[in-house]
Amino acid sequence: MDIHQILEYLPHRYPFLLVDRVVEVTPGKSIHAYKNVSINEPFFQGHFPHHPVMPGVLIVEALAQAAGILSFKTMGEMPSDDSVFYFVGIDNTRFKRPVIPGDQLHLHVEIKRLMRGIWKYQAEARVDGELAAEANLMCAKRNIAK
C-alpha cells in the first residue's frame, strides 16, 4: 500500500501519521509496514536537540497505526467518522535500541486474538533487522457520539 491508500485506512494526518508504506498485509494474520525516520520530524527539535532519538511512545503509536490498518483490512471495512480504534492496553513493552534520524523503522504486527471486540496483537519494530521495540497491544473499536 502506498501513502494514498494508507490515508484511506487511517484517520491520522501530519504530524501524527507514522506509517509511510505497507509492504505486506495478510488479513486476519499480520502486517509489515515501515516508517522512514527523518531529521525533519517535529519531535526531534526537543527530543533531544544534542542527540535526536525517536520517542518510545511514538514507536508504539506507529505499531498501533499498523495494527489499525491490519484490523480494517481484516474486517473488510474502511474507517468512518462515527467510530475510532482506541488503545485499551499496552503490555510487556521493551525498547532495545534507539531509533534515530535516517533509520527505516519496520513495523511487524500479528493478530493474536479477537475476543468481545478487543483486538490483541504482538508487535515488533525493527531497524536493519535489529529489534528496536516490542509490545503486546490491545485495541477496541468504539462508536463516537455525534
> Known catalytic residues?
47
Which residues 6+ apart lie within 8 Å of 100 measured at CB?
A: 37, 52, 53, 54
Q: What are phi and psi of 90, to 5 degrees?
A: -140, 115
The gap between the terminal CA atoms of the chain, to the nearest Å, is 31
Instruction: Give the three-class secondary structure for 66.
Output: helix
The strand ranges marked E within the chain are: 21-26, 30-36, 83-95, 104-115, 118-127, 130-143
Distances (CA, A) of 48 to 66, 87, 121: 26, 27, 30
Structural contact between residues 18 and 3, judged by C-beta atoms closer than 8 angstroms: no
